[in-house]
Amino acid sequence: MPIQDADLKGLKKKGYRFVGSHGHAAVKICHWTKKSLTDDGVCYKEKFYGIESHRCLQMSPSIPFCHHKCLFCWRDVSITSAQWKGPYDEPKIIIDQGIKAQRSLLVGYFGNDKANQRKVQQAQHPNNAAISLAGEPLLYPALDDLLIEFRRRKFTTFLVSNGLTPEKLENLLVEPTQLYISLDAPNQRVYQDLCQPQVKNGWQKLKQSLDMLSSFDCRTVIRMTCVKDYNMFHPQDYADLINRSDPDLVEIKAYMYVGNSRQRLELDNMPSYLQMQNFAQSIAERCDKEIINESRVSRVLLLG
């Protein structure tokens, strides 16, 4: 098992539920799933893309594996390895047990007077997989089969990658519904300081993946996490990278001072919504895009 028992126990306390028998896949109830079930708001993905927050399965097939140890990551990056180690569980097992675990985590909403019971019933049958909980999904050896199995079950799939495996990205047999590449720095120096890559030539590999985005038929999105005093500058450099990759959309989202990131950053590193608006606009006007949607509560703006 790639995660030590003490770390596993800590993650379970934080709401992770591991599935399969090899300790690399897990689900976790999203904050916005809970909000939606009590009609107290929805995720920006519902506002932007029509994904129903209460029917979203937040999961990852590669919890302990990632090429980065980003300062802004809300996960415990001390358990992270840049290379896959050990055997792996098959997609059908991960999905079957993941849905079962999610149902178990939501069972209390059946007795919650504030819950929308129609949504609670629908939540028993999720139809979107946010493959983004933790880790780098492209490191999972059976990712193609996972996407195929989700598609067979009529799930939409939102796949988030750090872009450090361009060879796997290029050879994907099945495209997700929406492919994200994370771009969290305007240049290599900022990238090294903020993303803390565990592999050589990370910046070059990221740019390779960005260059592939326009070749995909699915919706493509560059996702930027903005950390005040760390990466909210050089808008022209961001615009140049966006122009060369030609994504369908760009999500510009504020860093949130939550989870383990509080051990690495300060509250002041979380930008205000006004700062996010100004920064997003400065990038948009340099890459022939405009702000087409926004979510103030999540401090995220969408360029298109």
Reported as a single tens digit per residue, the pLDDT across 207-225 is 999 999 999 999 999 999 9
pLDDT > 70: percent of the chain:
96
Mean pLDDT of 106-130: 96
Residue 78 CB coordination number (10 Å): 9
Mean pLDDT of 116-132: 96
Residue type at 31? H
Compute the distance between CA of residue 237 and CA of residue 301 in angstroms, rounded to an integer.
Answer: 19
Mean pLDDT of 251-278: 95
Name which of 199, 189, 185, 270 is nearest 235 in CA terms.
185
Residue 10, pLDDT above cutoff 90: no
Kindly report the CATH number assigned to the domain that includes residue 265: 3.20.20.70
Query: Is the pTM value of this prediction over 0.95?
Result: no
Mean pLDDT of 42-52: 95
- Higher-confidence residue of 202 and 11: namely 202
Compute the distance between CA of residue 269 and CA of residue 124 in angstroms, rounded to an integer.
Answer: 38
Mean pLDDT of 158-182: 96
pLDDT band at 3 (very low <50, low <70, confident <90, very high): low
The CA angle 104-257-283, to the nearest 5 degrees, is: 110
Total count of domains within the chain: 1
254: β partners: 226
Task: Look over the chain and give the mean of its residue pLDDT values, rounded to a whole number.
Answer: 93
pLDDT in tens, 96-117: 999 999 999 999 999 999 999 9
C-beta pairs of 47-53 under 8 Å, 24+ apart in sequence: 47/293, 47/295, 48/251, 48/293, 48/295, 48/302, 49/178, 51/128, 51/156, 51/158, 52/122, 52/127, 52/128
pLDDT > 90: percent of the chain:
84
C-beta pairs of 237-244 under 8 Å, 24+ apart in sequence: 237/186, 237/187, 238/183, 238/186, 238/283, 238/286, 238/287, 239/283, 239/286, 239/287, 240/287, 241/183, 241/186, 241/207, 241/210, 242/183, 242/283, 242/287, 242/289, 243/287, 243/288, 244/207, 244/210, 244/211
Provide the domain limits for residue 99. Answer: 5-303
Residue 256 CB coordination number (10 Å): 15
